[in-house]
Amino acid sequence: MTAKSRGEDVMAGFDGIVHAPNRLRICALLDTAGEAEFGAVQEQLGVSASVLSKHVTVLMDAGYVAQRKAVRATRQRVWLRMTSEGVAAYRGHLAALRAIVGP
């Protein structure tokens, strides 16, 4: 495999869905935390519930994020986690970004 084709392989990991700044941060958080409650994600990223909800919906539609609902103290909480496809897409995207940055 030539250096050029290796570079093209890495670049193929660039994911337009993940790349949007807030979605990249959501993916970074969920990849690190494993699973996180919606409110905790909101607090960590400093975004409004509606903005977070919008980006989470995009990631869920892409099959990158899954949600689980749990009741705590009579209130329903939503827990988010990356799917295996999401983890692969996120890590592939990071590799593409590193390739763009270069050595």
Cβ at position 85, least distance to other proteins in Å: 18
Partners of 79 in beta bridges: 37, 68
For residues 3 to 22, the per-residue mask of contacts with other proteins, x marking binding by CB under 8 A and - elsewhere, is: xx-xxx-xx--x-x--x-x-
Tell me the DSSP string of 47-86: --HHHHHHHHHHHHHTTSEEEEEEEETTEEEEEEEE-HHH
Residue 59 interacting with other proteins (CB under 8 A): no
Q: Which residue has the tokens 């969920």?
A: 30
Binding site residues, other proteins, CB under 8 A: 3-4, 6-8, 10-11, 14, 16, 19, 21, 24-25, 27-29, 31-37, 39-41, 43-45, 72, 81, 94, 96-103
